[in-house]
Chains A and B, each alone.
Chain A
Amino acid sequence: QSAPAQPASVAGSPGQSVTVSCTATNGDIGSFTLVSWYQQHPGQAPKLLIFEGHKRPSGVSARFSGSKSGNTVSLTISGLQSDDEADYYCCTYAGSNTYFFGPGTRVTVL
């Protein structure tokens, strides 16, 4: 396994939906169950948004959803809000009970 790839940035207007992709660079993203997504605002610790590929922890808005298609997993943010402007990281299985973070995607609310 190797670290996945993410787009450096995505942007959308308030109320729109945006999708952050996370793609295997060696052709195998691994088990969807072992995918998680994190949101990080500047100067803050990351926050878990999605675990087991598509599940949300208690308290996380239903506007955040996870999915998989082929060797790409995705995070979709619907009804974009100003507070959604942050960095988003996927975390995928790397083998031997270890994980990779993707390089991160900056989401900008226009």
Chain B
Amino acid sequence: QVQLEQSGAELRKPGASVKVSCKASGYNFIRYSIIWVRQAPGQGLEWVGRISAYSGNTEYAQKFQGRFVMTTDASTTTAFLEAGSLRSDDTAVYYCAREELGYGDCVDWGQGTLVAVSS
């Protein structure tokens, strides 16, 4: 079955960077895109961006353009989200999800990775 296994929780100081990984298994990795979503404590979901695992093409929500970078490694079937110049309001659980049809439909989800930014 499809599984998305994310890396563990991270604690960073303001201004630092962090890289979250999402290891995919149970399907043809390059056939589908990965979407990243974040959720601040007690808040709603935010759509961060999408990366094609086939081409590497990326689309970012306007708010996340510049400081956030999505990549994939087909040899290890892993997707990555790197965030730089971290601020306290980047504290959130970051989820990766597999997009099934290309219509923003996130069928399978990782368990989430907490990134805490604090001095």
Contacts and interface: CB of A to CB of B under 8 A. Distances in A.
B10 interface: no
A64 interface: no
- Identify which of A34, A46, A99, A104 gathers the most chain B CB atoms within 10 Å of its CB: A99
A36 B45 contact: no
A104 B37 CA distance: 14
B62 A98 contact: yes
B59 A91 contact: no
B60 A98 contact: yes
Interface residues of B, number: 24
B50 A45 contact: no
Interface stretch (B23-31, B66-74, B76-84, B100-108): B100-108
B109 A96 contact: no
B59 A46 contact: no
A104 B49 CA distance: 19
Contacts of B62: 98
Interface string B93-119: 001010011011111011110000000
A64 B52 CA distance: 30
Interface residues of A, number: 26
Contacts of B44: 87, 89, 101-104
Interface of A: 33-34, 36, 38, 40, 45-48, 51-52, 57, 87, 89, 91, 93-94, 96-104
B45 A97 contact: no
A48 B104 CA distance: 10
Nearest to A55: B105
Nearest to B59: A97
A55 to B, nearest CB: 9
A45 B110 contact: yes
